[in-house]
Amino acid sequence: MMPRSTLALPASMHAAAREHLFPGDGLEAAAVILCRRTPGPRVKLLGKRLILVPYTECSVRTEDLLSWPGDYIEHAIDEGEAEDLVAILIHSHPGGFLGFSVQDDASDAVTIPALFAAYGDLHGSAVMIPSGRICARLYASGKGAEDIELVTIAGNDLHYYWHGAQSTRPMAFTEQMTREINRLSAAVIGASGTGSITIEQLARLGFGKTTLIDFDRIEHKNLNRILNSTLADADSKRLKVDVMVEAIEKFRGAGSAEGIAHSISTREGVLAASQADVIFCCADTLEARYMADLIGAAFLIPVIDVGVVIPTRACAKSGTAVADVMGRIDYIQPGRSTLRSRGLYTPESLRAEYLRFNDPEAHRRELAEGYIKGTHEEAPSVITLNMRAASACVNEFVARAFPYRHEPNGRFARTTFSLAALEEEFEAESSFQVDADAPLSRGDLEPLLGLPALKALRAKEEKCICSGR
């Protein structure tokens, strides 16, 4: 069953909290995590700010007991109330007990009502053990505690801490891995060449839900590279997402996939992607990558971006020849480098793309040369290249969530391969600049992603639009 509630923390915040909560003296310590919410229906809290409680401020600190200082509860209230953030009171269990003790229950009975008396309708508490695992619970105003089913940290590795689950992680490529993936959801931006192949793999890996975001329709020229597409689909110009959803539900059952027939640059597309545990960007535009960057940061979702290209060169014999056959996979973790800081797009290139896309003829030429640069190909025969790139894209997720590499995942922030040279190259996360301007943990703050074009319509405006006025 997929989680009804999730707490997501940036890896840097998790590391800072762990360092503070376990100073080496064997005594409990405390901190407060202030969280932004994700737009529903899923209850997902996003770590926004970390308040470290000084050790000397706690009148009692033993190996199994802690007193919360009233001044720091007030401090958390002052910061949280200003932005309507959910407060999670977290403390350590140096002995390794992953659960809430009788003393913890008694402490919550005093501190949680104080939070509700000040502001908000949702707050919680959490426990961390020396390994970094966290268990957490939420209190709704006037109600008892309810366990947070999943705590996630997206860093070089993807950590999934399930409530009540054993500490050992499933091994990669096993049935146990499939069972865990069945509790996660994936969003795929783009359902064409690499997108359709990525979607097929994710569905058969067992993701509990796969959300497909693409506004385009099947054409005859697509049939040589879009999985599950047919002549009938092209004749009737069916939506690509409808074709994919229908195919998935034939072997996974109803409700296992959802098609969003909108651009990722729309409010509908953003809200759909915000519910995912991981995003795969398989689009061929810079704008889609820009949006993937914003969504991943705002909702603390890891993004895996894939791209392929076949550059050409002048040839005396044939006029044009293949110079290389290349693929690229980028893993983007919230709070570190982005596709922007890695140089995949700039404000200038985004503007140039926008201008081209508003010139229909230029746009047509751009898409026709999307795979093979320097030639005009309406239906490039690139499914073998797409298969190679899409496989690497999905395996990047597996390697992060169920580590199997001989070397640390931090060394593989970007992978590029050349089929012409039979080479692979890797770049480490440390080789890229952190994007300090990314909207980290922005969550449901309006306008979405800080973009005025995505602001929520007022009810009266929505009624007018729906009625055609």
Q: How much of the chain exceeds pLDDT 70, in percent?
A: 93
Asked if 233 and 324 sit in the same domain, the reply is yes
Q: Report residue 34's pLDDT band, with 50, 70 and 90 as the boundaries.
A: very high
Residue 258 lies inside a defined structural domain of this protein: yes
Residue 462 lies inside a defined structural domain of this protein: no
Residue 182 lies inside a defined structural domain of this protein: yes
Asked if 197 and 138 sit in the same domain, the reply is no
CATH code at position 25: 3.40.140.10
Give the residue-averaged pLDDT of 279-292.
Answer: 96
Residue 181 lies inside a defined structural domain of this protein: yes
Give the pLDDT confidence of 366-408 residue by residue, as tens digits.
555 566 665 656 677 899 999 999 999 999 999 999 999 999 9
Asked if 294 and 420 sit in the same domain, the reply is yes
pTM of the model: 0.93
Residue 465 lies inside a defined structural domain of this protein: no
Give the pLDDT confidence of 302-339 residue by residue, as tens digits.
999 999 998 888 887 767 888 999 999 999 999 999 99
Q: Report, in angstroms and rounded to the nearest whole number, the Rg of the chain calculated over CA atoms.
A: 24
Asked if 114 and 187 sit in the same domain, the reply is no
Q: How much of the chain exceeds pLDDT 90, in percent?
A: 83
**Range with the poorest average pLDDT among 1-5, 88-92, 160-164, 241-245:** 1-5
Query: Can you give the residue range of the structural domain that contains 368?
Result: 175-454
Q: How many domains does the chain have?
A: 2
How confident is the model at residue 373, as a pLDDT?
64
How confident is the model at residue 368, as a pLDDT?
57
Asked if 280 and 369 sit in the same domain, the reply is yes
Q: What is the mean pLDDT of the chain?
A: 92
How confident is the model at residue 252, as a pLDDT?
97
Asked if 180 and 309 sit in the same domain, the reply is yes
With CA atoms as reference, report the closest residue to 3 among 33, 35, 45: 45
Rounded CA separation 345/400 (Å): 25
Asked if 76 and 149 sit in the same domain, the reply is yes
CATH code at position 309: 3.40.50.720
Give the residue-averaged pLDDT of 68-89.
Answer: 95
Asked if 134 and 252 sit in the same domain, the reply is no
Asked if 81 and 186 sit in the same domain, the reply is no
Residue 332 lies inside a defined structural domain of this protein: yes
Domain boundary among the residues 162, 185, 218 is at 162
Domain boundary among the residues 130, 162, 194 is at 162
Instruction: Evaluate if residue 93 carries a pLDDT over 80.
Output: yes
Give the pLDDT confidence of 435-456 residue by residue, as tens digits.
999 999 999 999 999 999 998 8
